[in-house]
Structure 1
């Protein structure tokens, strides 16, 4: 009985590390629908999720793409623990244990050295507007080095379009972000397209999403 109590207590401790963000729970379904339309289910290879947050996204997406192996990443320890807890809780088999990743570092060292052209997919949600611009620069540099030709970079979040930010709720959100850190803010797709052009990526599609967000789909050119 003591051994069983210890086992149950240990399991509870692991699952208690799971973080739950309401926005993530709301948007994971719509994001999955976009991924399913853009990616054939028989697509093979390695998919890297940059800034995985709690781990709810990657463990929700991975079962729908059984021939992709997913590698979640984070920079905060509590998020890394949460991702591991989600993997254990969901028992998903094609998600690797998370690794620490700072996207402003040399992409040759990402994931312990993934190798040039080793990725089929890079997915990033809700990062570049709540972090310095350097993270966007690093994300595209990483996509340039790590994505194979024809690989996809998906970016989810709010965006300004050709200098115009709508609706008013996004304007207020942008103001709030900048009040927290002057380096933060909603990014304009024009600026992201410039980054793409210098990193052998092309904006393939922009998809409207709930809550005034969008998904930008970039494709790695030959």
Structure 2
């Protein structure tokens, strides 16, 4: 039941270092598209004062998250919940932060639209929506590996692919958020932080 994503082991520590400066000191962190659940366990252990709420729209992912969580036995890691980012009704009414790692490029655009709409609903003023992954930027030459990755994603599903940061900024503005930070990460990834106005 437990699944493993090799990239998770590589990016957890650098991501946690950035999150330490962006997450609130307390409250509920809603993780969208938790995947295997390895990030949820790592972050819940790293940030014991925060309640961690993993979620995913795939049943096998939910089982994997809960299997990892059961093994870890962390008091601040909640059972995984079914949540489709594109859906208009999330099973969480409010959160101190929303985190989404490596979903935006491997899902239809509507999932990203829903992510920003949902964040606009559940976040209070000043609270962050934090995205991690590979993105494209108008004024930044893309890494060849990112361009190749983009092509491979579109081959697997034409609705997938790396997204333009400018388009994400537009979604943010439409939902009452503004980009507050951009962190350069290993392996040509970025952390983008949007905060509720």
TM-score range, shorter-chain basis? over 0.9
Q: Which runs of 5+ in 2 are unaligned?
A: none
Distance 2:97 2:66 in 1: 21
Residue 51 of structure 2 corresponds to residue 69 of structure 1:
yes
Distance 1:130 1:64 in 2: 27
Deviation (angstroms), 1:180: 1.2
Aligned to 1:204: 180
Select 1:29's aligned residue among 13, 20, 25.
Answer: 13
Distance 2:41 2:108 in 1: 27
Residues 59-102 of structure 1, C-alpha deviations (whole Å, 9 max, x = no match):
11112322221110011111111111111111111011001111
Distance 1:46 1:105 in 2: 20
SS state at 1:150 partner: coil
Question: How many residues end up aligned between the 2 structures?
Answer: 197
Deviation (angstroms), 1:165: 5.0
Aligned to 1:10: none
- Single out whichever of 73-82 and 136-145 deviates more from structure 2: 73-82
Given that 2:97 and 2:123 are in contact with CA atoms closer than 8 Å, whether structure 1 keeps it comes out as yes
Given that 1:19 and 1:82 are in contact with CA atoms closer than 8 Å, whether structure 2 keeps it comes out as yes
Aligned to 2:109: 133
Residue 96 of structure 2 corresponds to residue 98 of structure 1:
no
Deviation (angstroms), 1:163: 6.3
SS state at 1:161 partner: coil
Aligned to 2:22: 38
Deviation (angstroms), 1:164: 4.9
Distance 1:201 1:162 in 2: 21
SS state at 2:104 partner: coil
Given that 2:29 and 2:97 are in contact with CA atoms closer than 8 Å, whether structure 1 keeps it comes out as yes
Aligned to 2:129: 153
SS state at 1:194 partner: helix
RCO greater where, 1 or 2, for CA within 8 Å and sep 6 or more? 2
Deviation (angstroms), 1:39: 2.7
What CA RMSD, in Å, does the superposition of the two structures yield over aligned residues? Answer: 1.2
TM-score of the superposed pair, with normalisation by structure 2: 0.96
Distance 2:11 2:63 in 1: 22
Q: Which runs of 5+ in 1 are unaligned?
A: 1-16
Aligned to 1:7: none
Residues 96-136 of structure 1, C-alpha deviations (whole Å, 9 max, x = no match):
10011111111xx312xx32xx2111000111111110011
Residue 32 of structure 2 corresponds to residue 50 of structure 1:
yes
